[in-house]
Amino acid sequence: MQSTDVRECSIARTLDLVGERWTLLALRELFLGNHRFEAIVRHTGAPRDILTTRLRKLEAHGLIARSLYQERPRRYEYRLTPLGESLAPVLTVLREWGDEHLAGPDGPPATFTHSCGAKLEAHVTCRHCGEEVKASAVRQAAP
Amino acid sequence: MQSTDVRECSIARTLDLVGERWTLLALRELFLGNHRFEAIVRHTGAPRDILTTRLRKLEAHGLIARSLYQERPRRYEYRLTPLGESLAPVLTVLREWGDEHLAGPDGPPATFTHSCGAKLEAHVTCRHCGEEVKASAVRQAAP
DNA sequence: CCCACTAGGTTGGATTTTCCAACTAGCATG
DNA sequence: CATGCTAGTTGGAAAATCCAACCTAGTGGG
């Protein structure tokens, strides 16, 4: 009777990396162009010490890079690496879901535009057939 | 000097609901067809008491429903509501990112098929132009 | 010179959350 | 009557988080 049989899974791995509290909000700020520690603290509300550990972890895994933007006194800011930028779809989908299901009577708290000129409304599609991916359309392949 | 200016944001709202530890893994199990408490504990590794509080919260917000599947002794299982099923894209994108960036030499730990017959590889596209959404192509609209 | 201010952190200690193992209820089965 | 199944609940230890204050290394004002 083995009582644990924890599933090896890319979802779990991704969450191990970016699923802790504040991490995705910090990344959101970087995507929005706020690269400084103080700005991230202000806009996320994260405790400064926690934010430090989150940023260090993201840096250690190559999602962000710390760069000196000023000598004397030495000041650092954070920038997304290409790997970090590849998380854009994750944030986009989280925002999309919140926009659709958690918005108040005034609609979503912020809107975004895509480079095509339209208000950004994103959806997840199958690369092969182009159809929107729905829960009922996905099956685990035989291992 | 107002020191806090926390951003109202759909990402934050979504994470408030499903961003705590274990929550998304529990939802993953429901998507995979494991509806029972014991199965979720086994496959996620979540502590039983924590899992209980997570499931209660999801239920309170209408993402899942608890249903009696057996009288004497009364036993309940959990099922996704339509609202819960609408989270599929979130899990899909998290898995996609992990598949692509955290897989070992043997590739991703599990693969999925789409109803179109192909191995599921999903991406996030703009509803308007159909292009894949990249970090650099998104700008916040003027408030 | 002294003070205030900036910015990216660190520190100590209180608070909260999580974790874990053991236990319960209510019934079925051998 | 003992054992097992399943969805929890409980108490206490361990860990993570939170918070306010502090630090460093400078700049600008009076």
Contact at CB, A90 and B93, closer than 8 angstroms: yes
What pLDDT score does B131 carry? 94
Contact at CB, A109 and B135, closer than 8 angstroms: no
Distance of alpha carbon B60 from alpha carbon A14, whole angstroms: 26
CA distances from B21 to A19, A70, B46, B47 (A): 7, 37, 9, 11
Structural class in CATH, domain B10-137: mainly alpha
Domain boundaries, chain B: 10-137
Distance of alpha carbon B34 from alpha carbon B43, whole angstroms: 9
Contact at CB, B31 and A93, closer than 8 angstroms: no
What pLDDT score does B72 carry? 86
| Mean pLDDT computed over A80-106 | 97
User: What would the pLDDT profile of A17-59 be if each residue is shown by its tens digit?
Assistant: 999 999 999 999 999 999 999 999 999 999 999 999 999 999 9
- Whole-number percent of chain A with pLDDT over 90: 93
Contact at CB, A86 and B101, closer than 8 angstroms: yes
A7 touches chain B (CB under 8 A): yes
**Residue B36, CB, less than 7 Å from strand D?**
yes
Distance of alpha carbon A142 from alpha carbon B110, whole angstroms: 9
What pLDDT score does B4 carry? 78
Partner-chain residue, chosen from A86, A108, A115, that has the shortest CB–CB distance to B137 = A115
Smallest CA–CA distance, residue B80 to chain A, in Å, is 10
Q: Which nucleotide is nearest to B46 (CA to C1')?
A: C19
Q: Using CB atoms and an 8 Å cut-off, which of residues 93-112 of chain A contact chain B?
A: 93-103, 108-112
> B25: which residues sit within 8 A by CB, 6+ positions away?
A9, A11, A12, A15, B44, B46
E strand or H helix at A49, and its extent? helix A48-60
- Whole-number percent of chain A with pLDDT over 70: 98
Give the HSE-up count for residue B134: Cα atoms under 13 Å, Cβ half-sphere: 7
**Encoded tokens for B121:** 């590889």
Owner of token pair 């994470």 = B15
pLDDT-derived band at A2 (thresholds 50, 70, 90) equals low
CA of A38 to C1' of D25 (A): 17
Distance of alpha carbon B139 from alpha carbon A110, whole angstroms: 11
Per-chain mean pLDDT for chain A: 95
B77 touches chain A (CB under 8 A): no
| Lowest model confidence (mean pLDDT) among A3-12, A98-107, B116-125 | A3-12
Owner of token pair 């705590």 = B20
Question: Average pLDDT for consecutive 10-residue bins of chain B (143 residues)?
Answer: 82 98 98 97 98 98 96 94 98 98 95 95 96 93 80
| Mean pLDDT computed over A122-139 | 95
**B23, burial (CB in 10 Å: exposed 0-12, middle 13-18, buried 19+):** buried
Residue A141 pLDDT greater than 70, yes or no: yes
- Using a CB-CB cut-off of 8 Å, the residues of chain B touching A102 are 10, 13-14, 17
- Using a CB-CB cut-off of 8 Å, the residues of chain B touching A11 are 24-25, 28, 91, 94-95, 98
E strand or H helix at A123, and its extent? strand A122-126
**Encoded tokens for A132:** 């929107």
Smallest CA–CA distance, residue B131 to chain A, in Å, is 9
**B49, burial (CB in 10 Å: exposed 0-12, middle 13-18, buried 19+):** exposed
